[in-house]
Structure formats: structure tokens, C-alpha cells
Chain A
Amino acid sequence: MNARLEFPNTKPSTETQTGYIGASTPRAGAKRLLQGRGTYLDDMRLPRLAHVVFVRSPHAHAKVVSLNLQAARRQPGVIAAFDGKDIAAFCTPWVGVLGHLKGIKSAAQHAVAIDRVCWQGEAVAAIVAQTRRQAEDALEHVQVEWEVLPAVTDMHAALRGDMVIHPDLGDNICFTRSLKTDDFDEAMARADVVVEKTFSFARHTGVTNEPRAILADYNPAEHAMTVYHATQAPHMMQDIFSRHLDIPESQVRVVCKDVGGSFGIKVHVYADEMATAALSVMLKRPVKFVADRIESFLTDIHAREHEATVRLGCTKDGDILAFDLDDLTAIGPYSVYPRTSGIEGNQVVNLVGGPYKHKAYRAKLNVVFTNKNVTCQYRAVGHPIAVALTEGIVDEAAKALNMDPAAFRRRNLIPDDAYPYTFASGIKFEQLSHHQCLDKLLAMMDYDTLRAEQAQLRAQGVYRGIGLAAMIEVTNPSPAFYGVGGARISAQDGATVRLDPAGMVNVLVSVTEQGQGTEAIFAQIAASAVGVRVEQVRVTTGDTGVTPYGGGTWASRGAGIGGEAVLQAGKVLRSHILDVAACVLEKDKATLDVVGGMVVDKLTGAELTPLSEVGRVAYFRPDTLPMDFQSELTVTRHYTPRAYGFTFTNGIQAALVEVDPDTGFIKLLKHWCVEDCGTVINPMLVDEQIRGGIVQGLGGALLEECQYDSNGQLLNGSMADYLVPMAVEMPDIEVGHVQTPTQTSELGAKGAGEAGTAGAPGALMNAVNDALAPLLGGNLITAQPMTPQRVLTALGKLPA
């Protein structure tokens, strides 16, 4: 408190109060969710609401020989039934390509398929009824005659092009990328040790608890549409609905109420959601679609189906010289609009080897079409693959050199004083802290003691393993991510901060809330910037009719980009409040400040007048203010990160496991993560978000797999069959931080949403291989998820 008295009384009164930055303040807006008083999309009720269900293909690849909707139309409650051609008259098709992914190609996709389906679950007709039950009943009366076509389900076969899914494209290749640094051949030739492994990663999906949902309400009187949508990017969707339904952008409003988890699943354009919007136009009434769980498994984007060979060359002293990557990934029959399905593989190329200081790199990427559900960006896009590849081969190198994995990493991680730094793939790092993170992690986990314990237990036939995974993560994306490629996806975000008459601060932000606590941290930032108590702040997000324009929530951009906009707007509002207060109090503005919702004397801290008085005078009695003075108690500011393509974060994780070599079961004993996401705004929220990310990463490494048969049939489309982590399988997770604020913004925040998912699979895989090292005989477990079957196969106890 004494520090305040030391402030010179002439200093401009616009400093940020750090008050709530870094405080574990309980989340604003959470109480209603805990009392069942939230409003998720399916909780909304509108007059004349109709419900749509879709006729979906049971085949992975088939021609629609005939489709008869007559009987369905006659069923009770049915309002209409349409096929793909009907809907195409109201909704134009799209192609998921972007200019900066050179050469990427895809086929045109319609809201509802016309004549041919390319994956099991693709819709061929829509039935709209008074109730969902009636629409579902009517589904049984749809007659479809299919001509089943051969399905391309193996990605190697897809790459060979034995059969081409979209003949017009010439082959099944969506996107390729190659890069090779000039010194690559020389570096590999110089290597004393070269290790090589092939790793594979199964498809999995996000399994949001709330399924995808949309309610489109077209008003023909105004040729306007309000879309209530469980989405992460309302302004992007406003643009999409506008262009594809031919409604002026200003007449499309997208509103996000509470969203029940997203993780990247709800940031894409889905054909059935576009169809729902088109149906609202066609029927001139509100139409709702909520995916049921089988539809979620069949049509929510999948991700991560990769097979990659990675080579690492190093000196006998343990210096990494070069990385070599050959990655193949399959994305389903279409590149997803508008972000494309080329990004995940592209990220893998960008990120492999990223934490380390070698200069030589060669990479090849093939992204191919198959007749399975589409894949696209799911949380930590590409990172779990890149980290597992990198860290898996780094452990192999350490093993080949007989070096401790932690010591090998310490030798090769980019030094903390080497920044700014350009990595071999071309990406630029502003300032990372790999060594600080490594040191902190090893101290947190008491690494040496764990190693000693491991050796002791191994002698008793107990197989424990320790796995490390260093990581870098893309956050705070600049326009380089999508905008430069031609996507109409905002890279900037905006915040409007307003003092209300009663002294409350009203904040409108273009970033959306999906449960991660965006609104809570904006309240903390606004309270700190304006000088009020956090309880005096109300935050509204997710309404294109209300908030400034912006990108929404993806790629961990909310805190770093939206937060900076809130901070800058709040600071200016504070100054504008003091302009009014100076008039009201007839004092020099420079002697005043706003603290805890009161205008105070800056020097003494004496409370002079509450903000409610400033509001009262400014709004209701401006006649008492000087003639030449106009108050401005609403301030909007925007922010775009531009200095770097991405504000990279870094961190490191460790997993401790025990593996039963007889059953192949992996027990997770403990997990640690040290992350540097710059300024931590709310440690409690960040820590649990990192833990949630870790659990999603562990799920992919241990349990989750969308299993398809060779005909493209999904075999496990229920929650009973598709396993995700439950509480009892998960360990306690210790989270630590190193804070290196980004200098590109005043707030200094980077994203925290990717870290957990990025590093957990690699750390876990290394831990399992470490546990079983004495039994694997040089073999490795390289396929995720690491099911008991795969563990036992690697141990030679089951046939390959």
C-alpha cells in the first residue's frame, strides 16, 4: 500500500492496476451453470420451431440410385422433406482450400449430398417436423436405393491412387509439402548415430459433451436471419451464412449462448448445419438441428490419423544435427471448409524438432483423401503428433548414446538466451524458456529420486517408466494462419468497455466463451484496467449483433488477443472516467485515480466519489458539466498480433506410469507439466485448462480411436464403445509455470489451451517405452492409442 504514495501526482492516470491479473478469482458466470440455469442451444424455445433430422448414408461410398421422400412427407407432424438438389437451390456449395497452402485441392461439397455419398454418415436428405420424435419416425419411411461403390479406406492405397475418390481431381492427394534446408545432406552424413522409427496415430475426435447444435431463424419480412449456434467463431459463421445463403452480411446475426465444450470441434462449417440454415430460409421459420451421439461420431470432425517416419542424426557426443520427417495423413473425402484439412499436417511439418537447436531439417508431407469422415483442426492441431514424433525419436537417440533422456534434452534444447530465433522449418520464436521449464519440471517431479525408485522396483519385477516431452505451441495466431490464404476469418479482436450509470462496467468482446473462462479473465482484466472490483464487471460475448468484430475462440487466442483489446479499452475508459471526475470534483485529472470503483485522490488514496456518481452526472446531468466537455464513457479498442506469425509458447511434460507386462495395462501414476504461457491471468483457470488438455492428450494416447473397417464402416460410434478418460483412470497432475510475457502486447499473455494436449501423448508414450525397455528387446511401442493389445504385441506376446 505504501507504494501508492510514492506515485508522482502528475503521472498520467492510466496505469494498469495489476489487481486481478494473476489472481485465482472464482469464475464469474459459473454459478448459473452449477444450478442448471445455463442456456445451451437445445435449451432454447422459439415459436413455430421445427426440428430437422437427416437421412444419412449407411455406406462409405455409394451412388444414390433413387431417393423417395413421398411416404416420409405423409407422416404425422412432418412439415417438409428435401433432397440435396432442393437444398442446393438455397445454399451454394463450397471448396475447402486456402491460397497459402500451395497446391491444396478439394472437391465441391454440398450441404446435403447430391447423387453420391463419400463417407458413412453423409446426409442425402433432410426431414423437418413439428417435433424431433416425429422427424425421426418419418426417417423410417424414406426409401433410398444405393449402388455401393468401392471405398478407399487405407491411406497408403489412397496415396497410390488405386482408386480415385474425386475423378476430377486426378488423384487422392489433397495437399503436399516438402522442405529441405541446404545443410541437410551434409548434416546427416556427418552424424555418428542415426535413429529412425515409424509411428502411427489413430483417428480420434473431440467428443464434446454437448453435441453440435444450431437453431436458424429466418425472417422473410426483413430477409434477415438470426442463427443461434454452438460455435467458436460467430463472425466467421456470419460471413459463411451470408455468402452461401445469399443474405447480406449485415442481415445475418450469429448468437452463441452457453456452449458445452468445443475443443476445435465447433469451429468448422458442417454440411448439416448449413442445411439447417438453408431449411429455415426455405420454410420461413426457425429450424433446429442437434446431433445425436451417433451423428457426432460419424460427422463431428475427426483428427490425427497419421503415419510418420522420423529420423534423427546426432554426434556421438549427443548433439542433434538433423531431423528428417515423412508424414502421411488421411483426411476423409473433403478438405473441411473454410480452414482446410491441410493445416494439421502442415503444423506437423512446422513443429517437428521445434524445441531443439539443430539447423538441418527435411520434411515431406502427403495429405490424402479417403472414404471416412472428414478430419480437421481439433485441439492442439498437429502438436500431439509432432511432439510424439520428436520426443519419441529423441528418446531413441538418447538410448542409442546411453545418455539420460533429461540430460540429452538439456544438451539440445534451444538455449534460453538465443532469442529471437528462427527454427529450421521457418517458424520464428520471440522468447522461449525451455531450460527454465526443464529445470523446474525435474525439481517438481524429483527426477533423480524417481529414477532411483524405478531401478529399485524394476529389480522387484515392477515396470515403471518415466517419459519426458518438451514442446512448443502455436498461440495468438496472426493473419498468417488463415487470412493470408484468403479465409474471411478475423485475426484481430475487439472489446467495447462501457461505464454504466450505476458504476458498473459493461464489457463486450468478440472472443467467445466455451467454458474455458474467457469471460472471467476478461472481467479480471477489465476490472484491473478500469480500477473497479471484479464484481462490478459484466461481460458479454458471442453475439455478432452486439460485440465488436473478431475471430472468436481457436488456436489459444482468447487471452492473448481478446485480453489485450480489453486491457487497452479499459485503460482508455479509466482515463475518460477521470476526465468526467475532474470536472465534477473540479480537480486536476492528474491528481485523481480510480481504485476499487471509487475515484480517489492519487496521492493520499482518499475516496472522493463513487463511479455511480460519475455515471449519474455524465448520463443524467451533463448540463452541470462545462459547455465544451462531452463525456465518452464507452471505449472500443482492437488488437492484432503482427510481429510474429504466432506467439509461440513452450513447456515440458513428464509422465510416470506402471505397466503390467502380462496384461498390457498401463496405470498412470502421476503427470507433471511446466508451461510458459506468458502472463498468467487466473492461475486456477489456467491450471485446470492445462490439466483438461493433458487428459484429452492422454485419452488419445491411451484409449481413443475411431475404428473403421476396410469398407469404411465406423465400428465404435457410441460412448460405450469409444472410450475417453474417466476420473478414476487419470492421475493427479501437477502444473507449474515459467512466465515469459510476450513483448508484443502490454498484457503479455500467450495461449494456454494447447499445451496439455500437445505434450501428453509424447510423454506417455516415452514413459511406457521406458517402463518396458528391459522387455522390448529394442522394439518400441509406436502406435497410439497404446491399447493393451498393442502393448502385448510389441512385447511379442500377441501376433503382430
Chain B
Amino acid sequence: MKEVTQTIDTVVNGEAMQCEVPVRMHLTDFLRESLDLTGSHLGCEHGVCGACQVMVDGEVVRGCLTLAVQADGKRVDTIEGLSEQGVLAQLQAAFLQHNALQCGFCSAGMLLSALELVREQPQATREAIREHISGNYCRCTGYQAIVDAIESVLQGKFAPASEART
């Protein structure tokens, strides 16, 4: 089978690039295999587990349900880039303090869902937090530590000033 490809212009974690990608390749495979950005994970490749989540033009998407060609003309941010930019710092500090991860395979996706919540529903209740992260599988924790961590950020317990210490 001849691989059909297309050239895309995209900005990944702030770096502009032009790449030729197979049209059937999903975004996470592109990020992981072509760019070696392995922080986004593949747990199911059918859009259920949420481990592959990345941001496209600021919106959280499932990388496994997004084709690489759909990133053409768009900005893509992964866990690696968002960590370096510092936008996840409060949540990451809270996740560490609350042990809101075990194996860490879900964490990239979970943090992105949490970021979305912090931005869009700053008044969210515990119930709303649980609802919001219910598109992200975690098989290790009982979810409670994750809910606690997100709640603590919403309550302002992880102000940016405290980031350096944690």
C-alpha cells in the first residue's frame, strides 16, 4: 500500500515546523513517533482513556481521535511544552503534594482536563470536578487524591508563589 502523505505547517510547543505526514496518522502518533514527544500516551486509541490528550489552539483534544493533518495551521501544545511554559505548575505541585498519581500514565491527560476545569469552572464543586475528569481513566488511584489536588488549586492553595518550593 502506497502511503498517502500531506504537508502540514504547525507550531508544536512554540516551535514552527513543516512536516510531511501520512494522512491516516493520528496526532499522537505524529507527536510521539515523528517528533519523539513521548509525554502523551496511548492507552486505547479509540478515544476513551484520555491518556493522549493535548491542546490544539488552546482546546483539549484526544490526540488519538485527531488526525495529524488536522494540526495544519494550528498550534499544538503537549505536556512537555505546557510544563516548560509553566501553565501547569500549580496543578503539578498540587498533584505532587496530594499524591494524585501513581503510575503516571494518565497524568498528562488528567492534568490537561484539570487545567481546562481551572480555567472554565473556577468555582467547581467536588462533584463537578469528578464529572469533569470522568473522561480520563486512572486505574491506580481511587480518583480521590486527584479530586483533592484539583480542589486545592481551585481554592487557591497552590498560588504561583509557592511553586518554587514544591
Shortest C-beta distance, A519 to chain B (Å), equals 12
- Cα-based distance from A60 to B160 in the complex (angstroms): 57
CB neighbours of A42 from chain B (8 A): 32, 38, 41-42
Shortest C-beta distance, B65 to chain A (Å), equals 12
CB neighbours of B83 from chain A (8 A): 34-37
A258 within 8 A of B: yes
CB neighbours of B97 from chain A (8 A): 26
CB neighbours of A730 from chain B (8 A): 130, 142-144
B39 within 8 A of A: yes
Say yes or no: A34 contacts B137, CB within 8 Å.
Answer: no
- Cα-based distance from A205 to B53 in the complex (angstroms): 24
Q: Which of B22, B129, B142 has the most CB of A within 10 A?
A: B142
Q: Which of A43, A260, A725, A730 has the most CB of B within 10 A?
A: A260
Provided the pairs A31-B96, A35-B79, A724-B137 are in contact, do residues A732 and B105 lie with their beta carbons within 8 angstroms?
Answer: no
Say yes or no: A36 contacts B144, CB within 8 Å.
Answer: no
The residues in A between 502 and 530 inclusive whose CB is less than 8 angstroms from any CB of B are 514-517
Say yes or no: A260 contacts B137, CB within 8 Å.
Answer: no
A76 within 8 A of B: yes
Provided the pairs A292-B45, A688-B145, A689-B102 are in contact, do residues A209 and B51 lie with their beta carbons within 8 angstroms?
Answer: yes
Say yes or no: A27 contacts B96, CB within 8 Å.
Answer: yes
Provided the pairs A34-B107, A43-B38 are in contact, do residues A691 and B80 lie with their beta carbons within 8 angstroms?
Answer: no
Query: Who on chain B is nearest to A209 by CB?
Result: B105
A310 within 8 A of B: no
Q: How many residues of B contact A (CB 8 A)?
A: 58
CB neighbours of A292 from chain B (8 A): 45
CB neighbours of B143 from chain A (8 A): 691, 695, 725-727, 730
Say yes or no: B41 contacts A37, CB within 8 Å.
Answer: no
Shortest C-beta distance, A75 to chain B (Å), equals 8
A800 within 8 A of B: no
A263 within 8 A of B: yes
Query: Who on chain B is nearest to A31 by CB?
Result: B96
Contact of B102 among A36, A76, A515 (CB under 8 A): A515
A700 within 8 A of B: no
- Cα-based distance from A158 to B107 in the complex (angstroms): 43
Say yes or no: B95 contacts A692, CB within 8 Å.
Answer: no
Say yes or no: B99 contacts A261, CB within 8 Å.
Answer: no
Say yes or no: A258 contacts B104, CB within 8 Å.
Answer: yes
CB neighbours of A695 from chain B (8 A): 141-143
- Cα-based distance from A40 to B80 in the complex (angstroms): 15
CB neighbours of B37 from chain A (8 A): 36
Contact with A along B1-43 (1 / 0, CB 8 A): 1000000000000000000001000000000100011111111
Query: Who on chain B is nearest to A689 by CB?
Result: B102
Contact with A along B97-112 (1 / 0, CB 8 A): 1110111111110010
The residues in A between 4 and 61 inclusive whose CB is less than 8 angstroms from any CB of B are 24, 26-27, 30-31, 33-40, 42-43, 45
Query: Who on chain A is nearest to B127 by CB?
Result: A728
Query: Who on chain B is nearest to A210 by CB?
Result: B105
Provided the pairs A209-B49, A692-B141 are in contact, do residues A260 and B105 lie with their beta carbons within 8 angstroms?
Answer: yes
A654 within 8 A of B: no
A685 within 8 A of B: yes
The residues in B between 56 and 89 inclusive whose CB is less than 8 angstroms from any CB of A are 78-80, 83, 88
- Cα-based distance from A516 to B140 in the complex (angstroms): 8
- Cα-based distance from A690 to B88 in the complex (angstroms): 27
Provided the pairs A292-B45, A720-B48 are in contact, do residues A30 and B142 lie with their beta carbons within 8 angstroms?
Answer: no
Provided the pairs A26-B97, A208-B139, A211-B43 are in contact, do residues A38 and B144 lie with their beta carbons within 8 angstroms?
Answer: no
- Cα-based distance from A40 to B98 in the complex (angstroms): 23
Provided the pairs A688-B145, A719-B48 are in contact, do residues A209 and B96 lie with their beta carbons within 8 angstroms?
Answer: no
Say yes or no: A30 contacts B96, CB within 8 Å.
Answer: yes
Query: Who on chain A is nearest to B145 by CB?
Result: A688
Provided the pairs A261-B102, A516-B102, A718-B48 are in contact, do residues A31 and B142 lie with their beta carbons within 8 angstroms?
Answer: no
Say yes or no: B48 contacts A696, CB within 8 Å.
Answer: no
CB neighbours of B131 from chain A (8 A): 727-728
Shortest C-beta distance, A78 to chain B (Å), equals 12
B147 within 8 A of A: yes
Say yes or no: B166 contacts A207, CB within 8 Å.
Answer: no
Query: Who on chain A is nearest to B166 by CB?
Result: A26
Provided the pairs A31-B96, A36-B80 are in contact, do residues A719 and B44 lie with their beta carbons within 8 angstroms?
Answer: yes
A206 within 8 A of B: yes
B134 within 8 A of A: yes
A137 within 8 A of B: yes
Contact of A720 among B32, B46, B146 (CB under 8 A): B46
Task: Show 25 A/B contacts (Cβ-Cβ < 8 Å), sorted by A.
Answer: A30-B95, A34-B96, A34-B107, A36-B39, A38-B39, A209-B43, A259-B103, A260-B43, A260-B104, A260-B105, A690-B142, A691-B144, A692-B139, A692-B140, A694-B142, A695-B143, A696-B139, A718-B44, A718-B46, A725-B143, A727-B129, A727-B130, A728-B127, A732-B126, A732-B144
Report, nearest first, the 5 A-B pairs whose CB atoms are least far apart. A36-B39, A691-B142, A33-B104, A515-B103, A260-B105
Q: Which residues of A contact B (CB under 8 A)?
A: 24, 26-27, 30-31, 33-40, 42-43, 45, 75-76, 133, 137, 206-211, 258-261, 263, 292-293, 514-517, 684-685, 688-696, 718-720, 724-730, 732-733, 756
